[in-house]
Structure 1
């Protein structure tokens, strides 16, 4: 990656991903990035997102620099993925494979899990990632972020990259015995704190760490070094390139994805399962339980996950995560059994009551046409 002018000196710049050299210097193709920011106020923590930018490889750095300059004193975020079109729910995705390790009580557990998985990434025949291509960051609170360049997997734009990364992370879970690997972060619009951004509750910055110090540093040491937003600026990384073992494994993951979510028909003539995530359902999932509509939305989500090809256990686990204690578990079990076993299907007329997605009921919406 390269940065020019003042942008190169800002610590957040190193976290912004640079696309590979384009096919055309005359008419470079645009892509899209969402930024977000937060700042403590008297009323609480103010969080702003949906700040999208259309950029290309020629002006990308200037857009990042302008955003940084206009928001001094804010915690800065960017989506883990770049988007090939302006609609993040239907666009192809590009971005590094990311892992988030968190433990609110003991960061040492997150450090241990991160180190074990990094060791696996470097020696496993499924990866063989050079250690100097792997980036490690202290999140600013009690977490560790690890990223692997997307180029290692021989992929650039991909329609389901978030799902690929989720499967890859699932298969790494056995190497995180402390259970600090966060599986909730694999979604299209996931925001990640930019390097050099200050955590609003701790005052610490997200800073890179040398791999050799990942486990050696105590929590006190980490808190000390993270007070400097420029810490780790001397760390050098190898230029990303295709790693044949990792690229081959990514192809295997694609096959697993197809098998998991392929379209199927039941002997009873059940409707074909859908193989994409409609933006209306993405919105309902992102918004969580909404007071006054929790039961209705939960029912629709269960039916959707069954259509999506999720197993009964997977759908139940996702419902528990979405509910986050909002509805009593007994009530949740009742509606889950009814909707999963009952093979209900909800159409757009019902969905648009609870989702304000602009794609609802348009002729170019794949979900609308599938109903």
Structure 2
């Protein structure tokens, strides 16, 4: 049986949870628990568990990712809850908040193992397992995701254990789609042309001297028209982005859609993260095309904006008369996705409520 330096076995028997941790350490690492000073109270128990979890991370291959060993640690957490202790001295058990902090720590470690396997220093700043320290640790993890994978909301604004657990359960993505709902959208004057013109039509707010033209359904017509470049390629891309028809989850949803419950946040998982990463790389290409086209229009705004508006109007007239040009090759954003990504999409994009068209 494992013992701690400075304590008699009779003393240690008063704290069966600390003994359980020491025995688990011996079983996992084939060595005795290190000779550190530990008090027989909840703080001492937390110190021992923190040291155990830190060692698990250092030896995570194969221990951390091995299901049987991971199950032992999660079982230990359940054991440490006061309701499960059979010890007469239940004052030595962890309180519910401490248990929740441990569970957040475990989840955070699992996420680092999945998405940043080479990062062995993330836990160094966790001097204590409390809401304050864990809030910073979760924020650091989300910042790393934002930097290396795709945009997520990395501001942990509430130092609450339930909030931290939720941030590690759901991926707080930052939708990049143009806002169409007037309750969430900026004024049209805040946008550059030709985005302003396209948004005015998409929001049913046509500008002066411009007819009420429904953009949905016009993209194919514009793509088929013999338009000069870069209008021929750039305008269809922008129309799809503004109308949320790009077939890209990052660009076809907005904050307003999220706020109104039109889609649910995805859950953390390697397949979802891989899918979102692949789609974000495609989204960046489309956003770059949009930026390039906006800059081109801005270089000679009166002439080029008039040309863009004329192309939209001509496409609208053709739909009224039933005139279509011979179909030309699809524009660049019609790139095929991998089969794995296509399958993963359904795991997080929710069904739209009835009556909401896409």
Q: TM-score, normalised by structure 2?
A: 0.23
Structure that is richer in helix per residue: 2
Bigger RCO (CA 8 Å, 6+ sep): 1
Q: TM-score, normalised by structure 1?
A: 0.23
Structure that is richer in strand per residue: 1
